[in-house]
């Protein structure tokens, strides 16, 4: 039972954090950004951590 709980907890929190960054220049952007404020690229990577 405790093992099942640990698996469930780690699986749900594993992808709870997401990092967004520009694919062209690497600048960290917010989830609301559709273009990079630094270089203007619209290629935004969404990376689950």
Record the tokens describing residue 40, joined without a space: 């203007």
Q: What is the pLDDT of residue 49?
A: 86
Q: What is the pLDDT of residue 26?
A: 97
Q: What is the pLDDT of residue 44?
A: 97
Task: State the Cα–Cα distance between residues 26 and 38, nearest whole angstrom.
Answer: 10
- pTM of the complete model beyond 0.85: no
> Which tens digits make up the pLDDT trace of 4-46?
766 666 665 555 699 999 999 999 999 999 999 999 999 999 9
Q: What is the pLDDT of residue 12?
A: 55
């Amino acid at each position: 039972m405790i093992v099942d709980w640990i698996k469930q907890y780690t699986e749900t929190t594993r992808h709870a954090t997401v990092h967004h960054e520009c694919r062209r220049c690497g600048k960290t952007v917010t989830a609301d950004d559709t273009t990079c404020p630094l270089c203007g690229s619209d290629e935004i990577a969404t990376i689950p951590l």
